[in-house]
Structure 1
């Protein structure tokens, strides 16, 4: 009987700690931004405040969040960064502005950026981004700018369906 009471007590303890008590929010946005940080070379230590041990990245320099502590802006233009964009950026579902202009970012635009349904501006100009424009960017119905890079190939027809797109 004592064994059964102990099992019930343990079950209730686990249940109350996993259901009734508030949970700390995951750090998936911080993880995505840290993946970007790891892919970049930062000679001027612009990203020094990006601490992967914080609960969320809203206290980091160059990051703006909404009142629900979701990342809405990454402002790293003209920061002397080099490296590559990472597919993990596609996990920043509330991101509206990705400002990475005037750096030395290379490689291609990850197709996962097409997951950023709230994205208004993708400023990658004056970098060394190459390759083609991923057709998945056609999912970004609020996109207004996608300009000035080393991209080649045809512009995906699906971008013609974005009425807000002003600069390609």
Structure 2
């Protein structure tokens, strides 16, 4: 019996260390991809097994990363697809930085995510349709970037969304009006000069010119 308990304990310990390594590697991939003039990521040491000891990282009782607070940290550089490996992440706060490049589609793997705040950066490319799989998402703020393309119709499946803000980008096409989008106001979409207004009766209008 004692041997079985010891074996069970060792298995749990191994799983915990494995998860810590995966999540630590994911966070360190972000550190390598950004410039950090304020040294806010200085504590992110890859030789430490547990990333829960790093500043701006919050973990749960199982030592799994649940929150990343790097808003207004003066970071520049790119987001990395490895962030999609943070399976218990609930809050991804990277607003008011100087991040560039696309939003990785891998963020659609963050099934526990409640808040995704990437506003006031210089992000480009399309809004990933994969974000529609984030069933727990309540806050999606992508405003004040340089995002282009259509607003993915898949996002209307976000049943728990409370605040969605894609204003002040360069989005085009029409605004979805079905599903969760039926409760959103014009304020969520303002200052996108190429947006042509809401869809009629929930149907997509394809008479819009070049939209990319």
TM-score (structure 2 length as normaliser): 0.68
> Structure 2 matches for 1:66-145, cutoff 5 A?
66-143=60-137, 144-145=139-140
Q: 1:36 aligns with which of 3, 20, 30?
A: 30
Determine the structure 1 residue equivalent to 2:46: 52
Provide the rounded CA distance (Å) in 1 between the counterparts of 2:66 and 2:9. Answer: 28
Structure 2: any 5+ residue segments left out of the alignment? 1-6, 166-212
Deviations 1:109-155 (A, max 9, x none): 00000000001111000100011001110000121223312211111
1:62 paired with 2:61, answer no
The CA distance in 2 between the partners of 1:79 and 1:139, in whole Å, is 28
Supply the distance in 1 between the matched residues of 2:83 and 2:134 (Cα, whole angstroms).
Answer: 14
**How far did residue 20 of structure 1 move?**
6.9
* Higher fraction of strand: 2
Query: Of residues 120, 142, 148 in structure 2, which corresponds to 1:152?
Result: 148
User: What residue ranges of structure 1 are gaps of 5+ in the alignment?
Assistant: 1-18
Separation in structure 1 between the aligned mates of residue 136 and residue 55 of structure 2, nearest angstrom: 25
The structure 1 segments of at least 4 consecutive aligned residues displaced by more than 3 Å after TM superposition are none
Q: Secondary structure at the residue paired with 1:145?
A: strand
Larger RCO of the pair (alpha carbons < 8 Å, separation 6+):
1
Secondary structure of 2:112's counterpart equals coil
Residue 62 of structure 1 and its aligned partner are, at CA, apart by: 0.2
In the alignment, which residue of structure 1 is the partner of 2:184? none
Structure 1 residues 61, 153: closer, same or farther in 2, change over 3 A?
same
TM-score, L = length of structure 1: 0.85
- Aligned-CA RMSD value: 1.5
Q: Which residue of 2 aligns with 1:167?
A: 164
Cα distance between partner residues in 2 of 1:153 and 1:65: 35
State the structure with more CA Rg.
1
